[in-house]
Chains A and B, each alone.
Chain A
Amino acid sequence: MYDGGKIIVGLIIGLGLLLSPFFYNAGKAAKAPVPELTPKAKEAKACVAPVTYMRESHFTLLDEWRHTVVRDGERYYRSPDGKRYYKSLQTTCLECHSNYSKFCLQCHNYVDVDPYCWDCHIQPEEKK
């Protein structure tokens, strides 16, 4: 075989380069950020749905809200604990969760999703 050794060395180097990010990060997995609640959210104690549901599926709920509000004109929501809410990202959700960078952004960055909500809905102004 011609230059068999060179090919094998090349392959090993190539593979090494390919896997280098894994070696580089090995043993120091980035820690999942913990969303920070505003005093207002803490005081409210309950969100519109149980925390576990909100953590896993807030986007499903938001999508359903937007659909039922815009298409069906249903603007009120009754939470599992019987309370009524006006279905609005801007005026209901962001009223409590007004710390955009500590509540939304750091998690979205961590899981690398970039929702386009803020193309239209106005991001809360954070007090520095």
Chain B
Amino acid sequence: MGVDRREFLKIAGMAALFGLGGKAAVDIFAPGEVEASMEGIPLTQGTRWAMVIDIRKCLEKQAQEKDGCKACMDACHRVHNVPDWGNPKHAIKWIWQESFEHSFPNQPNPYITEGLKHQPVILLCNHCFNPPCVRVCPTKATFKREEDGIVCMDMHRCIGCRFCMAACPFGARSFNWGDPRKAPKELNPEFPTNRDYPERSMGVVEKCDFCVERIARGELPACVEACDKIKAHAMTFGDLADPESNVRKLLREHYTIRRKAELGTEPNIFYIV
């Protein structure tokens, strides 16, 4: 089915509303799905969400800013009320940076491009196709959504046993040692932040959820939106199941690597190097 005029106007309108570019908008709002999005599972049935991160573009932006660029991290942590305790031992990581060598220990190439050596790479939950964290969770608080492959957390159900933290080979999960509301205010000048997002009670595990709440409203993940806003365009979010999607196009055109691919968890975050 093609996109008829009415449909197109609708997509364009929604896109303008959410400030998406033309192509990105069509990727998220496939024709006919806008209406359907009001019911049930919106914009998401039969998709397999993934992200492509262009390390080159990211580093380029990092180099321009005095203290490096943290737009994606700030946006995510603000939107999801992720606390900053100021104590690395209690750090809660949804999206964070780590050196290239630590992020990709399986790329043992001492002659790797100079530009990548010791450089910070943006990391987040890989929303693995075979997520070991889901397999070990005794309460099914961590689960993979059948319809779109997002690995979600049901924080109502988490008992804080931390098996998932042991199982995740990417360190993508954090244990919540305290009430986010009580996180030091001086580190978060805008605290309390987003009233649209629930906080967590003490003693649950949390992680990046691919912004399920935003996708449901037809918005891009907060990190991607923030990155696009500063015109870095280093992050691309899209549907792997669609051969014509923005992410598939990038994957066709560029050489990409994934973290610890040899473990067979099939990460859905791809890095252009």
Identify which of B38, B145, B196, B199 contacts A73 (C-beta below 8 A). B145
A120 to B201, CA, bound (A): 6
Is A66 part of the contact surface with B, judged by Cβ < 8 Å?
yes
- Stretch in contact with the other chain, from B60-68, B128-136, B147-155: B147-155
Given contacts A90-B195, A90-B196, A120-B198, contact A75 B143 (CB under 8 A): no
A122 at the binding interface (Cβ < 8 Å): yes
A72 / chain B contacts, CB cutoff of 8 Å: 40-41
CB distance from A119 to the nearest CB of B (A): 4
A74 to B217, CA, bound (A): 11
A28 part of interface (Cβ distance < 8 Å): no
B198 touches A122 (CB 8 A): yes
B147 close to A73 (CB less than 8 A): yes
Task: Report yes or no: A121 in contact with B41, Cβ–Cβ below 8 A.
Answer: no
Q: Chain B, interface size: which category?
A: 20 to 34
* Interface residue B10 (Cβ < 8 Å from any Cβ of A): no
A96 smallest CB distance to B (angstroms):
15
Any A CB within 8 A of the CB of B44 = yes
A122: nearest chain-B partner, CB-CB: B195
Q: In the complex, A85→B179 CA distance in Å?
A: 30
Report yes or no: A73 in contact with B195, Cβ–Cβ below 8 A: no
Docked complex Cα distance between A2 and B68 (Å): 91
Interface range on chain A: under 10, 10 to 19, 20 to 34, or 35 or more?
10 to 19
Count: A-B pairs, CB below 8 Å: 49
A73 to B151, CA, bound (A): 12
If A91-B196, A122-B198 touch, does A73 touch B216 (CB 8 Å cutoff)?
yes
Contact A119 B201 (CB under 8 A): yes
A121 touches B40 (CB 8 A): no
Docked CA distance A71–B145 (Å): 8
A108 located at the interface, meaning its Cβ lies under 8 Å from any Cβ of chain B in the complex? no
Instruction: Output the least CB separation between B34 and chain A (Å).
Output: 13
Cross-chain contact of B40 among A71, A74, A116, A122 (Cβ < 8 A) = A74
Most buried by B among A73, A78, A91, A116: A73
B164 to chain A, nearest CB (A): 16
List A12-51 residues whose CB lies under 8 Å from chain B. none
Task: Name the B residues within 8 Å of A116 (CB-CB).
Answer: 201
Whether A73 contacts B155 by the Cβ 8 Å rule is no
- Please tell me if B86 contacts chain A, counting CB pairs below 8 Å: no
Selected contact of A70 from candidates B42, B152, B195, CB within 8 Å: B152
Q: Which single residue of chain B is at the shortest CB-CB distance from A125? A: B195
List 10 A-B pairs, Cβ < 8 Å: A66-B156, A71-B154, A73-B40, A74-B39, A75-B42, A75-B217, A84-B38, A120-B198, A120-B200, A122-B195
A positions within 8 Å CB-CB of B? 66, 70-76, 78, 84, 88, 90-91, 116, 119-122
- What residues make up the interface of B, taking CB atoms closer than 8 Å to A? 38-42, 44, 143, 145, 147-148, 152, 154-156, 192, 195-196, 198-201, 212-213, 216-217
